[in-house]
Structure 1
Amino acid sequence: MGRTITSNTFHFFNHTFILDLGIEIASIALALTYLFFLMRQNKICWFFGIASSLLGIVLFYKTALYSEALLYVYYVIIGIYGYILWSKKRDREALSVTWLKSRPLLIFLGLSIIGGLVLGFWFKNYTNADLPYFDAFTTSFSFMASYLEAKKYINAWVFWIFINGANIALYGTKLLYGYAILAFIYFVFSVIGYVQWKKSYQLKFH
Structure 2
Amino acid sequence: MDFQFLIDGFAEGLRQMTWLEAFAVFLGIASVFYSMRVNILVYPTGIISTLIYVWICFQYKLYADMGINAYYFGMSVYGWYVWTHPKAGATEVPVTWMKTKGWILAIGILLLSYLLISYVLVHFTDSDVPYWDSFTTASAFVGMWLMAKKKVENWIFWIITDFVAIPLYFYKGLILTSFQYLFFTVLAIMGLIAWIKTARTYAKS
TM-score interval, smaller chain: 0.7 to 0.9
Whole-angstrom distance in 2 between the partners of 1:162 and 1:80:
24
- Give the conservation status (yes or no) of the 8 Å contact 2:17–2:176: no
Higher RCO structure, 1 or 2 (CA under 8 Å, sep 6+):
2
- Give the conservation status (yes or no) of the 8 Å contact 1:46–1:80: yes
One-letter amino acid of the counterpart of residue 18, structure 2: L
One-letter amino acid of the counterpart of residue 116, structure 2: V
One-letter amino acid of the counterpart of residue 63, structure 1: Y
53-62 or 196-205, larger mean C-alpha shift: 196-205
How many pairs does the alignment contain?
Answer: 190
Whole-angstrom distance in 1 between the partners of 2:122 and 2:72:
23
Whole-angstrom distance in 1 between the partners of 2:143 and 2:89:
25
Q: Which residue is equivalent to 1:25?
A: 22
Whole-angstrom distance in 2 between the partners of 1:19 and 1:44:
30
Compute the displacement of 1:91 (Å). Answer: 3.9
112-121 or 53-62, larger mean C-alpha shift: 112-121
149-158 or 87-96, larger mean C-alpha shift: 87-96
Whole-angstrom distance in 2 between the partners of 1:179 and 1:91:
42
- Give the conservation status (yes or no) of the 8 Å contact 2:31–2:45: yes
Instruction: Pick the aligned partner of 2:63 from 37, 62, 66.
Output: 66
Structure with max Cα Rg: 1
Q: Which residue is equivalent to 1:8?
A: none
Q: Which residue is equivalent to 2:109?
A: 111
Q: Which residue is equivalent to 2:41?
A: 44
Deviations 1:84-113 (A, max 9, x none): 111126543731111111222122212211
One-letter amino acid of the counterpart of residue 166, structure 1: V
Q: Which residue is equivalent to 2:188?
A: 190
Compute the displacement of 1:130 (Å). Answer: 2.1
Q: Output the TM-score relative to the length of structure 1.
A: 0.87
Q: Output the TM-score relative to the length of structure 2.
A: 0.87
Give the alignment's Cα RMSD to 1 decimal.
1.7
Does 1:55 find its partner at 2:56?
A: no
Percentage of matched positions with identical amino acids: 26
Whole-angstrom distance in 2 between the partners of 1:165 and 1:18:
24
One-letter amino acid of the counterpart of residue 146, structure 2: L
Deviations 1:144-170 (A, max 9, x none): 110101111000101111111000011
How does 1:112-131 map onto structure 2 within 5 Å? 112-131=110-129
Note the residue ranges of structure 2 that are not aligned, 5 or more in a row: 1-13
Q: Which residue is equivalent to 2:154?
A: 156
